[in-house]
Structure 1
Amino acid sequence: MVEQPAKGEIPEGVLVPSGVITLPAKKPEQCDQGSEADRGLQTGELKRESKATPPPKRLPAGDKESPPTVEETRPCTTKVEQSPATTARRKRRVVVVGDSLLRGTEAPICRPDSSSREVCCLPGARIRDVTEALSRIIRPSDYYPMLLIHVGTNDTARCDTERIKCDYRALGVRVKEFGAQVVFSSILPVKGRGPGRERCILEVNTWLRRWCRQEGFGFLDHGVLFQEGLLGGDGVHLSRSGKALFGHRLANLVRRALN
């Protein structure tokens, strides 16, 4: 799943040490020219009053003076909470977003309640494409119990695991801004694309599982479930039975999130 702070401001999810503000000393108030004190100084009629300071109280021998008591006054803080009415007005939506492997999963995911479930299929999408598309998909006015992301198959064609990890990290920073529960779906296996790509998928999935745990994201591990009989003729997309199984697994996760 996806698992950082902006510069120069207080972005979401970033801890910024609070500053200490020193206020200028308050200037003493000046009496106007017509004050009683000035008139007294001008006429010589100002009387000075002096109060006799009482002598210090002597304690009996053997007794010690207790230290002064300092009363600490803590600032009063007000906790602002959203009212139940405000929360109820926000629409609950679960969004499943990813590459073309999501095509055909719309029916099992959205059939129970299409008003609260949405599948966003981005054909040919890479990890960076999903990162850029989220701002157009997520509505700030809605409440998202879960954001399910399945992407990465097209990125493994280059077998550049370090770049894939870097793109996942950037996606993790982006999704944390929405405050939703985020679940990453593991990259499905491919067939007939060479051992290098198979090793890349295995390495990325192993890292992705560990990274999601570190960042507090969920991880849906498909393992080696989608292999013989579930992959299409091109060895990348799913067969009809593969789409049915994939959609069923995603739909179960969505149902648990809404319930």
Structure 2
Amino acid sequence: MAQGGHWQLITSGSRQCSTPAPNPPAVVIGNRYALLDTGEKESPPTVKEEKPHSPKAGRSAATTANRKRRVVVVGDSLLRGTEAPICCPDISSREVCCLPGSRIRNVMEALSRIIQPSDYYPMLFIHVGTNDTARCDTERIKSEYRALGVRVKEFGAQVVFFLILPVKGRGPGRDRCIMEVNAWLRRWCRQEGFGFLDHGMLFEEGLLGRDGAHLSRRGKTVFGHRLANLVRRALS
């Protein structure tokens, strides 16, 4: 009651001001992670895109407005050489983390160091799995993908997983394993609300290196610019 014994009507016109998050640390182009030498090589990518669902983590527009927007591309040695086209437009909002020889569990462990709580991540691209298929244990691979899926959902980002490309000269068992995992990965991404990037026939057009598993110089350029376009769209 106001002074004098009369009721006073109070409206809800004011807003609470949120304190801006601290500026994120500077981003350096290049691979800042140690070599994970497993002796396995991975195949390059392709391009058929399935749009991911909106992140399930509850972040209001007021919260994300005060956070630095960043897109991260993380994965195995296929990403080597893509740093310049992806990051050069704005190194403060883009990062490529190449982990040569990495497996699914290595990427899951690395994400704790890569993702900064002070930043907002509208998109996270992940290319991993080729080295895991060397064991031809599809159930274990699926289990590790599921664990990675639980981890990335904590970041509240839209996540896009890449198709695992076939490898040459490793036997029919390895080929069957990759085909089975890819079929499952596509379904799982759709069920979990993740994006799925299928590179299709792109790298059958002379963009692979002589070993049949890595990209040629031209292949890295094509793949790097294709990823750069996806990153630009995620930040726009």
Q: Could you tell me which of 132, 156, 171 is aligned with 2:148?
A: 171
Asked if the contact 1:189/1:227 (under 8 Å) is kept, the reply is no
1:99-110 superposed matches below 5 A: 99-110=76-87
For 1:128, the equivalent position in structure 2 comes to 105
More strand by share: 2
Tell me which moved more, 122-131 or 241-250: 241-250
User: How far is 1:119 from its partner?
Assistant: 0.3
Tell me which moved more, 209-218 or 222-231: 222-231
Cα distance in 2 between the residues matched to 1:171 and 1:146: 16
Cα deviations by residue, 1:114-167 (Å, 9 ceiling, x for unpaired): 110000011110001001111110000100010110111111112211111111
CA RMSD between the two structures: 2.2
Cα deviations by residue, 1:188-225 (Å, 9 ceiling, x for unpaired): 23222222222222221111111000000011111243
- 3-state SS in 2 of match to 1:95: strand
For 1:63, the equivalent position in structure 2 comes to none
User: How far is 1:227 from its partner?
Assistant: 3.0
For 1:94, the equivalent position in structure 2 comes to 71
* TM-score normalised by length of structure 2: 0.71
Amino acid at match of 2:72: V
Cα deviations by residue, 1:45-68 (Å, 9 ceiling, x for unpaired): xxxxxxxxxxxxxxxxxxxxxxxx
- 3-state SS in 2 of match to 1:221: strand
Asked if the contact 1:95/1:119 (under 8 Å) is kept, the reply is yes
1:238-249 superposed matches below 5 A: 238-249=215-226
- 3-state SS in 2 of match to 1:152: coil
Cα distance in 2 between the residues matched to 1:112 and 1:105: 13
1:214-233 superposed matches below 5 A: 214-227=191-204, 229-233=206-210
Unaligned runs of 5+ in 2: 1-49, 51-55
Cα deviations by residue, 1:11-38 (Å, 9 ceiling, x for unpaired): xx79xxxxxxxxxxxxxxxxxxxxxxxx
Amino acid at match of 2:210: G
* TM-score normalised by length of structure 1: 0.65
For 1:256, the equivalent position in structure 2 comes to 233
For 2:128, the equivalent position in structure 1 comes to 151
- 3-state SS in 2 of match to 1:213: helix
How many residue pairs get aligned? The number is 182
For 1:195, the equivalent position in structure 2 comes to 172
Cα distance in 2 between the residues matched to 1:121 and 1:227: 23
User: How far is 1:82 from its partner?
Assistant: 5.8
User: How far is 1:83 from its partner?
Assistant: 7.6
Cα distance in 1 between the residues matched to 2:213 and 2:61: 48
User: How far is 1:249 from its partner?
Assistant: 2.2
